[in-house]
Structure 1
Amino acid sequence: MESHVHKHLKKQSLYWLKEKMTDLCANEVKLFVRRKRFKADALGINLKRKEARIIEVKATRSDFLRDEVLHSDCGYYQIAHYAYIMTPVGLITLDEVPKGYGLLEIDEYDTIIVKRKPTRNPNPVLSLDILIKRTGRAATNAVLYQELSRETKDKTDGEFSKGATVQLISATCPACKKRKKYLTKINEAEVACKARGCKNAIPLSKARVHIITQYNESFFKQLKQLNDEEQE
């Protein structure tokens, strides 16, 4: 599981790339090279200069030491025109930085310093067109995922989902296109649209539906108990 520190550093690397590259940047860019697949923590594209830069974030020494991609013949440096490793201050020494890579250090105030500039790779193994497509796809997926996460985040973390009989969903009406939340039984076939002036039936097997959370008998018992206590 990704640590909070790694996630934070990855986001800061994206901000740094955006400032440097200006055109297109994304985290978690999926790459496929010589039948191997991996993700670039951050990848930025500058269309005017026709160049790509990759940042690989390392939050711990163990993470740095076990990363075989950094030292392979199809690593990040071979893929882009420039490649960096970004770490907290003092995590690795300059002597440990693989050939060709630059080193970025980030302090406790998120100030990023270039400790070593990378060497330009004149012939990346992936074309700029492919890197643009991969980065654009990752950026689009990130936007859609954030939107979906805000809409469907389960505040209960699935606490009452085991043996659930009722669920809270979000669904888009095929008639008015408005998206609302609905409390339904599990496997319910359809619901009536809540939008004012619509009331069309939404077939849940066909509509765009996301389950937000589910409720079992334990939830209803606790809810009833709380209501009874409040009425006493």
Structure 2
Amino acid sequence: MLERITIVKTFILSKLWFITTFIKIKTEKIKEINLMLFRFIWNSKLELIKRETLILPYENGGMNMFHLESRLKTVSLQTYLYIRKNYHRDFYQLSIKWLKFNLRDLGLKNFNLIPYGGDIGIPETYQFIIECQNEFKNYDKKFCSKNYTSKKTYELFRKPYEKKSKREDEYKKINWTDVYNKINDRSLDSNLRVLNYKIFNEALNLNIKLSKKLGEKCVFCETHTETRDHLFLNVYLLKKCLKLL
């Protein structure tokens, strides 16, 4: 699973970020891409952990998977900030035509003489830039005067979509950062890290979830319902196996 997330981020999404600099990806396409990516990550149609949890950083209980919509907004906003820094170059004169009033605070020379493309017929790319700019103002109205990195921008865009574990509300005295860091200990084999993560999030393919096909009974004791706690805390045979590890 970790390897698949790395493949997605390195070889697939990196190309998507580049394309987003020039074109806006429609909502329907984003949903399709998301569906394909998460099916690849899980190697199944069944997603055992919510996407809102997977997008969290390791230290917050996630698997550091990109949130697609937030990342696309980040690329768009960073493009806008780059245009602001380089508006005097000939390459960006077309951008000034469509973003004229969004760049007004830069003190553009002969402002009234600069042609304006208008609100009607504005390319979707520039329309998306304006939308992202307006949304980001909800987090910081003076963001243009600050040096926002892509990482910080992405974190702010991602925040409304994050969903932490319910256990954090149930056990508030626990240092959850330490717990998550131990689960994702980088010195461990990646398969073991994923197993730890799935056990913690009750994301194993147990009979209680597959009862329609296999029934709910535990495959070891054939008496009790096969749940995570029963499997790892109560089954005698499994306890003996774990001692051998």
TM score, norm. by length of structure 1: 0.26
Q: Which has the higher helix share?
A: 2
TM score, norm. by length of structure 2: 0.25
Q: Which has the higher contact order (CA 8 A, sep 6+)?
A: 2
Q: Which has the higher strand share?
A: 1
